[in-house]
Amino acid sequence: MSDIITLKGINKIYGTTVKTQVLYDVDLSFGEGTFSSIIGASGSGKSTLLNIIGTLDQPTSGEVSISGRNTREMDKNALAELRNRTIGFIFQFHYLLPEFTARENVLLPYRIHDVHPPKEARDWADELLNLVGLSKVANNRATNMSGGQQQRTAIARALVNRPRLILADEPTGNLDSDSTENIYDLLRNINARFGTTFIIVTHDQRIAEKTDRIVEVKDGKIHLDIIR
């Protein structure tokens, strides 16, 4: 199994006058199609690590390779394109565009590289909405949906470009326990069906235990790395 993500000697220091080091020499890689979690206390650096993996943040030193491509040599536009094509993001908050319907929100990442999605893409969006159980509210504005529905829309949105990697930062942090359960079943299902790699940041031990690999970050270092 080849690695989709490889981190080598990642250090992250914030600030210029008062320097705060968040990550110390992190070496980490994730295999294609795996379902992993990153856990740690708040402030441990787990979100920073996820943002660096997702190219939203740059490490102070060290290298990030995604599908074998070193991101250090890429400019902002190339990184944007890489994110658009390869990575799907799910955040704690859904960040749907309230002016657009669920279906339109799902299609947005596709429209970033092709403003007029062909029929196949539209059908795929509908299939994804069906998959997350939202066919009935596909034409609702984002504001006319429940919290669980909004988050599931965000998941469908993350999948629309068939990314090889999904990065999820506390994806169920705002949801009740039933919805949380549903969402995890859904993510698992997608992982099994499409072979999408998942990296989920969470502070919830119970959720982490459902993943195949648990990476624990403590004080900016990899404290535990359990593959089950």
Q: Binding other proteins by CB under 8 A: which of 3, 24, 33, 57?
A: 57
Residue 220 CB, nearest approach to other proteins (Å): 17
Q: Distance (Å, rounded) from C-alpha 203 to C-alpha 167?
A: 15
User: CB neighbours (10 Å) of residue 156?
Assistant: 28
Mark 72-98 as b/e (b = at least 16 C-beta within 10 Å).
eeeeeeebeebbeebbbbbbbebebee
- Kindly state whether residue 170 participates in binding other proteins, applying the rule CB under 8 A: no
Residue 94 in tokens: 């859904």
Q: Binding other proteins by CB under 8 A: which of 11, 13, 21, 95?
A: 95
Contact 213, 224 (CB under 8 A): no
- Kindly state whether residue 14 participates in binding other proteins, applying the rule CB under 8 A: no
Contact 66, 78 (CB under 8 A): no
Q: Binding other proteins by CB under 8 A: which of 6, 36, 47, 191?
A: 47
- Kindly state whether residue 15 participates in binding other proteins, applying the rule CB under 8 A: no
- Kindly state whether residue 179 participates in binding other proteins, applying the rule CB under 8 A: no
Burial class (CB within 10 angstroms; exposed 0-12, middle 13-18, buried 19+) of 123? exposed
CB nearer other proteins, residue 7 or residue 158 = 158
Residue 82 CB, nearest approach to other proteins (Å): 8
Q: Binding other proteins by CB under 8 A: which of 11, 24, 85, 122?
A: 85
Q: Distance (Å, rounded) from C-alpha 65 to C-alpha 71?
A: 6
| Binding piece for other proteins, criterion CB under 8 A, among 27-35, 61-69, 78-86, 178-186 | 78-86
Which chain residues interact with other proteins by CB under 8 A?
Answer: 47, 51, 54, 56-57, 76-77, 80-85, 89, 91-93, 95-100, 108-109, 111-113, 115-116, 157, 169
